Structure 1
Amino acid sequence: MDKSRTPLRKWLLVLFLISLHQIQINAVQISIALHVTYKTAWGMLHKIRQFISQADEHEKLSGVIKAAVELYARKQHSSNHDSPKERSIVIACSSSLCSASYFKFKVIPSAHLNERCLLRSGAAAFARNYVSDSYVNHIIIQPLYRMADSRLLRSQYKRSIIKLNACFKGIGATHLQSYLNYLCFFLNHPCLDPHSLLYELTSLCLGRPLSNNVLLPLAE
């Protein structure tokens, strides 16, 4: 919000609308509600997604961790990367006796892929960046279609992606990670009422300045 020409009350109204509708509200609806241009509305939502992404970078998976490789925007009936929007993603969740499930969906850089298969370097990068040190050696990222004990994780991913795509049409590769982080924020706070979500969002956006590397995917 710093140095923004948009009034603070409109920023707070955006946070309020997000807390009410979660991923069911997009820039078109925000622009109408706030009487601002689509460009302004998209920019506000994008900056909020950046703050959510920044906060997610500080949260590590621990406890019982399940992870697998999934595809975003997969082209049906094709074994090749024919769809320009198709991306391989590590989907993961962790849970323990003391905490609820915590989800992370992270885009895999092409350097860590052999076609659709995750290389060891990619699995190591995910563990290094997103798993607590005490549990780095406990995580196994399953290959695509081998989801024997992670069926619920894949089901949650598919349901969430359907909702995401229904609201935000045509998500490109450039901003896909920030949308996935945005989606996971609400998956990770399923029991919060709108007031609590508003407090959480406001704390994220006012708590610390925005760093320059919040949207980096798996590190090289």
Structure 2
Amino acid sequence: MAGSRTSLHKWLTAIFLISRTEQGTNAVALSKIISVTYKTAWLILHKIRHAISTADQGTLLSGIVQVNSAVYGKPYNPYFRNHPQEHYLLAGSSLNIQGEPSYIKLKLVPKIHVKEKLFQRAATLDFTQQHIESQTSSIEFITGRFSSKKFRALLAFAAQAGKSINNTFHGIGQKYLQHYLDEFCYRKNLTLHEAPVFQHLTHLCTAPHAKLSYFNPQNTPMCA
């Protein structure tokens, strides 16, 4: 918010609207609600999403980790040919002691790491290095297109993310898609821990020098 000519009241309204667990908000709706231009509304939301993505980078999956391949976008061809509107994901989660997802990540996979819709080893290596703690005790990837074993909870999260993004933003291109996926996961992770999204997001956006309380996969507060 530093240097912004937009009032604090309008910023807080934006944070409140993006905190809504089922839908968030888009720049068109926000511009009308707080009486700013579309460009200003988009920039406000982009800065908030940047804060969310930055916080997520500091929270790694650990313990027992499951990862499943997924796709954002309509599967135009179910066989081998890639389509420009298909974006490949790895959906990962740490599990709690009940064996349920406790912290999820949905990360885009560069298309150079997918050949004929098969995830190359480079995709899983990148995900492991960037998003999983090095001392993690158990990591299991499911990336086979016709694998009989699938982590259906992770596929459900990916499907929910796609539906939410399409309903609120009417589809997102490659350039900014990761920020929107991070936004979905942010709300979902706080909801899993029954934490107040608005309160947490306000803290995240207004305390630049503070260590912000977040949740690690083992239900223990950590710093991000």
CA deviation vs aligned residue, 1:16-69 (integer Å, no higher than 9, x gap): 222246534211111111011111111111111111000000011112221111
Task: Flag the 1:176–1:147 CA change in 2: closer, same or farther, 3 A.
Answer: farther
User: Do the aligned residues in 1 keep the contact of 2:66 with 2:139 (CA within 8 Å)?
Assistant: no
Structure 1 counterpart of 2:35: 35
SS in 1 for 2:88: strand
Aligned to 1:134: 135
Question: 1:158 and 1:16, CA in 2 relative to 1: closer, same or farther beyond 3 A?
Answer: same
- 1:153-210 CA distances to partner (integer Å, 9 max, x unpaired)? 212221231122111113111001111101111110115779x21221012112338x
Alignment RMSD (CA, Å)? 2.4
Aligned partners of 1:128 and 1:136 also within 8 Å = no
Match of 2:5 in 1: 5
Q: Greater shift after overlay, 41-50 or 153-162?
A: 153-162
Where structure 1 has 5 or more consecutive residues not aligned to the other structure, the ranges are 210-220
Q: CA deviation at 1:123?
A: 0.7
Q: Give the distance between the partners of 1:131 and 1:42, measured in 2 at CA.
A: 31
- Which residue is equivalent to 2:222? none
Quick one: structure 1 residues 116 and 82, their matched pair in 2 at CA, closer, same or farther if it must change by over 3 Å?
closer
| Aligned residue number for residue 208 of structure 2 | 208
1:164 aligns with 2:165: yes
Deviation of 1:11 (Å): 0.7
User: Residues 133 and 21 of structure 1: is their aligned pair in 2 closer, same or farther, counting only changes over 3 Å?
Assistant: closer
Number of matched pairs: 208
What's 1:155 paired with?
156
Segments of 5+ residues of structure 2 without an aligned counterpart are 210-224
Question: Structure 1 residues 57 and 81 mapped into 2: Cα distance closer, same or farther (>3 Å)?
Answer: farther
CA separation of 1:198/1:208 partners in 2, compared to 1, >3 Å: closer, same or farther? same
Q: TM-score, normalised by structure 1?
A: 0.84
CA distance in 2 between partners of 1:20 and 1:158 (Å): 18
Give 1 or 2: higher helix fraction: 1
Q: Is the 8 A contact 2:66 2:141 kept in 1?
A: yes
Q: For the Cα contact (< 8 Å) 2:94–2:103, is it kept in 1? A: yes
Would the aligned equivalents of 1:62 and 1:132 in 2 still touch at CA under 8 Å?
A: yes
Look up the SS of the partner of 1:105 in the other structure: strand
Task: Determine the C-alpha separation between the residues in 2 that align with 1:141 and 1:134.
Answer: 20
